Structures are given as structure tokens and as C-alpha cells.
Structure 1
Amino acid sequence: MFQTKRLRLRELRSSDLLLVQQMFNNYEFQESGGLDYTVPRGNEFTERWSGWAKSCLLFTIIEEKESNEFVGFTSLNMPIAKNRDADFTIGITQSQWGKGYGTEATQWVVDYGFKALNLHRISLSVTATNARAISLYKYVGFAEEGRKKAGKWSNGQWVDQVMMGIVEEDWAARIPDQTES
């Protein structure tokens, strides 16, 4: 189990699956990040999602430390280990948006990925209309690397997918002394 100032990042438990399913069954949540159809999610989705989570290099459930309230999840998935490039994913339940939890968890995962998992880069994809997420990623150090033009059908229109990444050299340059902490 890992901790930040306000959060606990822990393993996935079977008791979390209903909370995750409820999070994904929120229209705004699905539209803000997912590439698949925005539709109600049932038990079959939750089982597939759980299998995906178990296959990740790092997968954590995010909860608020004081209240133990469910906040969301985060992951690093590394399909090709040789390149030491992990795909970053985060999902924050809508009731927790705007509290800074996404920034806190993202910063921790990026730091952990480079310090403890010896990653060379961390990559992600975000819908261009998700300005809050893009701002968060830039704040943590991710840079826009390209766009997949009209890569997602969302709310009756085509929107771009923004590809972002951070490499270990750029991450290390942002932190004055890596030996502390």
C-alpha cells in the first residue's frame, strides 16, 4: 500500500468492482476519457476490466486516507517491456473531480514509475476536449507529442486524441535532487 499526502493507493479488491462499475456507468465519466461506445456497463465489462487491471505493471485503487472513500484508479501498463515505456491511465469518480486528487495521484505514479520501476518513458492519450486533464498532465511534466485527428466520436462530433509523454530525462530535470524522498 502506498500513500501521498491525502491519498492511499492500494491493490484492487473484489469489493471495489461495484464502485468501478458505478464510476463507468456515469455518462460524463465515460465521455471524458473512454474511446469505446458510451453505454451502460454490466458485470461482463467489470470482469474484463478486472482482468485488464490484473495484467498491468502497476494498478492501484485510489482512496481518500481519512475517510477511506473511493476516489478512482490509476495504472501503468507496459505491453512491450524492452522499451520501458508504460501507458498511464487514471480514472477519478465524478464526485471527486476538482479536488486535486488526480494531480496528486498522477504525480505519485509518474515519480514511482521512474524511481522504482526504472521506466524510460510514460505515455498517455487524452481526448482534446478534456482540457482539465490536459492541464493536469502538462503540470506534472507531460508534453504533447502528437494528435490523432478526429480519433473519437463524442457528443455528436469528431474530436482529436492528444498523445502525450514524459521521458526520464525530462522528469529528472524537473526535480532538483532525486536522492531526497
Structure 2
Amino acid sequence: MIATLNSKRLSLRPLNLTHCTTEYVAWMNNQEVFRYLETGGNYKIEDLRKYLESVEANDSMLFWAIHLKEGGKHIGNIKIDPVNKRHGLGEYGIMMGDSDEWGKGYAKEASEIVIDHCFRELRLRKITLGVVEDNSAALNLYRKLGFSTEGVYRDHGYYDGKLCNLIRMAIFNPTDAR
């Protein structure tokens, strides 16, 4: 069972079918939200329901809904998936869906508690991610969190209507003594 994580302003709860809402579907149909994601656009409530059912069925996936403590509003999601316990690795991903809440530091706050949980409780030694080079807001966030560039995949995919590079980044557990 995935743990609920809390910070000063946020509660990260396991993502499940209770999050199947028209607001979430609207995020997935908002060009500004999905422009650098692998999915999105022309989303329907049934698509979201099927996706959330698959999330619930996958007990190895660490996937949280980001909620504001004050009022309980669902504003985005954050995950570590896949987790490779043998090698001590996890792949990070975040989506801040509610654009009214952008620029308030919630992505950083949610990321810090998830990264801390993965290093302290799960004893992962390294968390990795991929980010489209043109996504400057995400790159700035990841650098503030302590991620560093490990490599660049040139002309890796089409995002926002053009061919873009993908930057691979990682952060290491500072207490890992391997």
C-alpha cells in the first residue's frame, strides 16, 4: 500500500478512481498542460477511468494525487514508476494539471517530499527523469531539486509541434554509501 505523504501545504494521496473527475479530464485536454507529456488531447472521462483502473491494479507503481491541504483540491499528480528495487532506481514524473495553481511552488514542495520518501523510506539510490529541452520551467525545477544532466537524446520526439531534444537527468541519494 502506498503511503499518504504530507508537507506544510500539500497532502499526497494514492491516485485512484476517486480522482476520475471532469476537472482531471479538462487538464488532459488543455494544450498548456499536456504540451510536453506523452499523453493528452481528445481525452474522455472513460479514458481516464480506464487509466485510473490500471493505476489501481499496479501495486508496484508509486503514484500520488497532489491535493492542497486547505480545501482538499486535487491540483496534479506525481509518480515514481518504474521502481527497480534490484538496482535501487526510480523514474520520476509530475503533472501539475490545475493551471490556476502554477507558479506557487507546489511542484517543488511535492517533489521534495516524494524524493525524500524514496531515499529515506524506500532506500532508492538514484531517481531519474526525462524532460523535453524546451520545457524551461521543468528544467529549472529539476535543477533546483538537485537533478543533474546525464545525457541528451537529440531530436528525440515531437513536442509542441516540433522536433525536440530530451534531457536525461538524475539525483542520487545523499546518504547512499555504495
Structure 1 counterpart of 2:27: 23
SS at match of 2:94: strand
Q: Give the TM-score, by structure 2 length.
A: 0.86
Aligned to 1:50: 52
Residue 12 (structure 2) pairs with residue 14 (structure 1): no
Which residue is 1:40 aligned to?
Answer: 42
Q: CA deviation at 1:102?
A: 0.2
Change in Cα spacing, 1:157 to 1:102, as seen in structure 2 (3 Å) is same
State how far apart, in whole Å, the 1-side matches of 2:138 and 2:122 are: 24
The Cα shift of 1:22 comes to 2.0
Please give the secondary structure, in 1, of the residue aligned with 2:20: helix
Matches within 5 A, 1:139-178: 139-169=144-174, 172=175
Amino acid in the other structure paired with 1:110:
I
Give the match for residue 102 of structure 2.
97
Selected match of 2:8 from 5, 18, 38? 5
1-structure distance, mates of 2:65, 2:135: 22
Identity %: 25
Which residue type is aligned with residue 160 of structure 1?
Answer: N
In structure 2, C-alpha distance between the alignment counterparts of 1:113 and 1:134, rounded to whole Å: 21
Given that residues 78 and 84 in structure 1 are in contact (C-alpha distance below 8 angstroms), is that contact kept between their aligned partners in structure 2?
Answer: no
Deviation at 1:79, TM superposition (A): 5.0
Amino acid of the structure 1 residue aligned with 2:62: L
Per the normalisation by structure 1, the TM-score is: 0.85
CA contact (8 A) 2:16 2:53 kept: no
Cα separation, partners in 2 of 1:52 and 1:162, compared to 1, 3 Å: farther
| Secondary structure of 2:134 counterpart | coil
Q: Residues 18-61 of structure 1: CA distance to partner in whole angstroms, max 9, x if unpaired?
A: 23322111111110x3134x531124531443245332532111
Instruction: Give the gaps of 5 or more residues in structure 2.
Output: none
| Structure with greater helix share of residues | 1
Distance in 2 separating the partners of 1:165 and 1:53: 24
- Quick one: which amino acid aligns to residue 157 of structure 2? K
SS of structure 2 residue aligned to 1:78: strand
Cα distance in structure 1, aligned partners of 2:173 and 2:14: 25
Aligned residues: 169
Structure 2 residue matching 1:135: 3-state secondary structure: helix
Q: Which amino acid aligns with 1:49?
A: Y
The CA distance in 1 between the partners of 2:89 and 2:25, in whole Å, is 28
CA–CA separation in structure 1 for the residues paired with 2:118 and 2:168: 19
Structure 1: any 5+ residue segments left out of the alignment? 174-181
CA root-mean-square deviation: 1.9
